Amino acid sequence: MVAALVCRDCNQGFEAKRSDALRCVTCHRAHRKEYLREYEHGHRRGICPDCGRDIAARANRCRPCENKIRVQRYVGGANPNWRNGRTHAYGYTFVRTKTGNGGGAAYTAEHRLVWEAAHGPLPEGYVVHHLNGIKEDNRLENLAAMARREHNPRLIVAPYEARIKELEERLASLGAA
């Protein structure tokens, strides 16, 4: 069934198979071309305020400019994962000491920072050892610097274990008295 209709744009009569057609073939093609230019598959386009490139619907900036802004937006305390510059790995606590190149950061072991604050820079080839073996216990009296080649926690802890046992027995006897 063919219907005789009037084109919405040029007001000329045309025939169409559908009774709800609005435009003749020529106007329909021109309208479609204009629609696709204005909308990119349904997305209204705009212009990026930073660089002037085209942007998609509901976007404030183009992707490269948005990525640059996002990096700056989530630095330090603004980042939802921020833990005041402290992190934990291998049982040790690490503290953020400086910002590295490209926005990265440098972290230093907290026990090393505590020891260096009291005694100065750690000599090359030396490590800071936790005397009681508890890696989170960063009190100054629990830290000792020693040469890396002498640092064997299994051998170092043995004399301290005997001393700890002796002190625990002394405490137990004081508690009973």
Decide: residue 158, CB within 10 A, 0-12 exposed, 13-18 middle, 19+ buried. exposed
Mean pLDDT, residues 9-33 taken together: 92
CA atoms of 133 and 14, how far apart (whole Å): 92
CA atoms of 167 and 159, how far apart (whole Å): 13
Fill in the DSSP letter of residue 111. Answer: H
What fold characterizes domain 85-176?
Answer: Homing Intron 3 (I-Ppo) Encoded Endonuclease; Chain A (3.90.75)
Which pLDDT value is given to residue 152? 81
122-142 tens-digit pLDDT:
999 999 998 888 899 999 999
Which pLDDT value is given to residue 119? 96
* Position with higher pLDDT, 40 vs 3: 3
The answer to which of 13-17, 83-87, 125-129 has the lowest mean pLDDT is 83-87
Domain ranges of the chain: 1-40, 47-73, 85-176
pLDDT at residue 41 greater than cutoff 70: no
Q: Give the residue among 108, 160, 116 at the shortest CA–CA distance from 134.
A: 160
> What's the predicted TM-score (pTM) here?
0.49
